[in-house]
Amino acid sequence: MRILGISALSHDAAVALVDGEQVVFAAHAERYSRVKNDAELNQALLDDALSYGEPDLISWYERPLLKKTRHLRARQWRWACTASDIPRRHLRRLTLGRPCPPIRYVRHHESHAAAGFFTSGFPDATVLTADGLGEWQTTTIGSYDSRSRYRPLRSIRYPHSLGLLYSAVTQRCGFKPNEEEYIVMGMASFGEPRFADAIRRELLDIGDGTFRLRRNVHRGIGQWRPEAEPADLAASVQLVTEEALLSLARWARRHSPSANLVLMGGVALNCVANSRIAREAGFEKVHILPNPGDAGSSLGAAAAVVGRALEWPGPYLGHDIRRPFDVRSIAAALEAGQVVGVANGRAEFGPRALGNRSLLTDPRPAEAKDRVNRIKQREPFRPFAPVVLEQEAGRLFDLVPPRSPYMQFVARCRDPSGLAAVTHVDGTSRVQTLARSQHAKLFDLLTEFHRRTGCPALLNTSLNVKGEPLVNTWEDATRFRDLHAVPIF
């Protein structure tokens, strides 16, 4: 059976097509519409998906009527009464190749958990999901056994939400909630957690494997602590979020039989917190889907229906650009200090560029960071990530876990001055480790750059400018090339 998983009508819409047990396509709506965090599907996305086959079933990533009960309880009358978020009404405007297939609805956190576990390769796992909110749940802990049966262990419900708290502080710091939390995470290293006690006292009560908000932050926190510098607020909410997640993960380790951990939900994009969990929570292995947020739930909705391990080929599942990839020419440009773009192969499913829609440059000179920041038009304090040959990663970084193929963990850099462009102010780097089995072309490029320069790493960031989705098609890439004078391969 061919299943089209869909996540839409909230933010960052996406689809994933699963044929039997094989993931054959997955992509974000924003890459096609060019509207950042686009909540609606579009025909171009569906046409790309349907080129891999028409679905027999649609699996929707949440249960809309259950979500309506939360809107009613929260007195969000506009959302409670609207029909614009009814899936079948939305799909009626689009062409699915034939009359709309039947739709199955999967609970929001079940979609998250299934996406993580059924792509993990683990025989069993503990699953910790934390996000803004689903229908009612904001945090869940459960376990999958060796027969893929899920057992819930703990659930925290709206309005108590780590994701909503982090978004509220993001807004308080002057950034866009539900979009720019990653900026706050990067800014945290420039501040001091002077307001952590105030957050614990006034906003968030952390218990043993649980937490509760002391006030509803769904509509923000206004000008809470008006005297606070944004960097100090960022450092404070980051520290308290890490404490809450560690408490949840340690509780999960004590109460679940599996030593394998799957982290899911939008909060799992917080790579600093992920690293503390990997180091301190007591699990043997940690897996995070490269798309752990709501967009990844499109895959989870399909996975939950399949109900068994998927053939996960990696994150390169989107629009395909087929062009020559001349490793020697690109390596020569990088050796000469150029910033180069890569728009080659299938687009990444997830928010991070992992080699197919990337900007690359030499990670050693500090001025390389400024050069890339000018191209991308982004804040100068934000860090860049290195992609490094997996066999060399331990020499350059104190990395736990030792593999980080999707840039989901930070590690202390052993040579900050030697890798100045990819070392943050706190001495850490958000590392992408690379084996040849993951991405042969990028591996060969890194190997050639290593041969020429002695450096087995490159600065790797997304091929876009601030506020725009990643480049998707070759037309997008040539437009970027012409506007920013960056060679694209």
Q: List pLDDT tens digits, range 381-409.
A: 889 999 999 999 999 999 999 999 999 99
Domains of the chain by start residue, with CATH: 2-110+295-313 (3.30.420.40), 120-288 (3.30.420.40), 317-484 (3.90.870.20)
pLDDT in tens, 19-67: 999 999 999 999 999 999 999 999 999 999 999 999 999 999 999 988 8
pLDDT in tens, 476-485: 999 999 999 9
Local confidence band at 151 (pLDDT 50, 70, 90 cut-offs): very high
Q: What integer is the mean pLDDT of 211-239?
A: 95
Looking at residue 163, what is its pLDDT?
A: 98
Local confidence band at 229 (pLDDT 50, 70, 90 cut-offs): very high
Looking at residue 166, what is its pLDDT?
A: 98
pLDDT above 90 (res 82): no
Local confidence band at 226 (pLDDT 50, 70, 90 cut-offs): very high
Considering the entire predicted model, what is its pTM?
0.96
Looking at residue 339, what is its pLDDT?
A: 98
Local confidence band at 69 (pLDDT 50, 70, 90 cut-offs): confident
Local confidence band at 73 (pLDDT 50, 70, 90 cut-offs): confident
Local confidence band at 83 (pLDDT 50, 70, 90 cut-offs): low
Distance CA 87, CA 63 (A): 10
Q: Is the peptide bond before 159 cis (omega within 30 degrees of 0)?
A: yes
Q: What integer is the mean pLDDT of 281-302?
A: 99
Looking at residue 219, what is its pLDDT?
A: 86
pLDDT in tens, 195-207: 999 999 999 999 9
Looking at residue 191, what is its pLDDT?
A: 98
Least confident of 79-83, 151-155, 197-201, 396-400: 79-83
CA 342 to the chain's CA centroid = 20
Question: Rounded mean pLDDT of the chain?
Answer: 96
Looking at residue 121, what is its pLDDT?
A: 98
pLDDT in tens, 335-361: 999 999 999 999 999 999 999 999 999
Distance CA 339, CA 275 (A): 29
Q: What integer is the mean pLDDT of 237-258?
A: 99
> How many Cβ atoms are within 10 Å of 440's Cβ, its own excluded?
11
Q: Which amino acid is at 62?
A: E
Looking at residue 80, what is its pLDDT?
A: 66
pLDDT in tens, 420-473: 999 999 999 999 999 999 999 999 999 999 999 999 999 999 999 989 999 999
Q: What integer is the mean pLDDT of 2-31?
A: 98
